[in-house]
Amino acid sequence: MANIMVRKSADGGLSFYLPKRDIEDSITSIEFDSPEKWGGEIKLGNGGVYYIDPIPAPRLPISVRARRVDGVE
């Protein structure tokens, strides 16, 4: 489990930030993105995959715990 931060990037998409290792990336897809359910599997620009326990859509940016499913880094 790692602490990550998800924020809205300037171009309207989502971006991923892993403070512990200072890794930034774009989020290319997110499994759930509705007001009631947000999170699930997120895919990163570098090919990494993380999993966030789904929650009601939060105000971004938000720091959440995420599990690394598959990752380049």
Partner 1 sequence: MSELTREQAQALIEEVLEVYPEKAKKDRAKHLMVNDKSIEQSKKCITSNRKSLPGVMTQRGCAYAGSKGVVWGPIKDIIDISHGPVGCGAYSRGGRRNYFSGTSGVDSFCDINFTSDFQEKDIVFGGDKKLAKLIDELEGLFPLSKGISVQSECPVGLIGDDIEAVSKKKAVEIGKTIIPVRCEGFRGVSQSLGHHIANDAVRDFIISNRDEQAFEGTPYDVAILGDYNIGGDAWASRILLEEMGLRVVAQWSGDGTLTEMENTPKVKLNLLHCYRSMNYIARHMEEKYNIPWLEYNFFGPTKIKESLREIASHFDEKIQEGAERVIAKYTPAMDAIIAKFKPRLEGKKVMLYVGGLRPRHTVGAYEDLGMEVIGAGYEFAHNDDYDRTMKEMKDATLIYDDVTGYEFEEFVRQLKPDLIGSGIKEKYAFHKMGVPFRQLHSWDYSGPYHGFDGFAIFARDMDMTVNNPCWNMLKAPWLKDEAEGELKAA
| DSSP state letter for 73 | -
CB of 48 to partner 1, least distance (A): 11
Burial class (CB in 10 A: 0-12, 13-18, 19+), 11: exposed
Instruction: Give the binding-site size for partner 1 (rule: CB under 8 A).
Output: 12
Chain positions 36 to 65 lying near partner 1, rule: CB under 8 A, are: 45-46, 59, 61-63
Q: Are 29 and 43 in contact (CB under 8 A)?
A: yes
User: Is residue 24 within the footprint of partner 1 (CB under 8 A)?
Assistant: yes
Tokens of 8: 């809205």
* Contacts with partner 1, residue ranges (CB under 8 A): 5, 7, 17, 19, 22, 24, 45-46, 59, 61-63
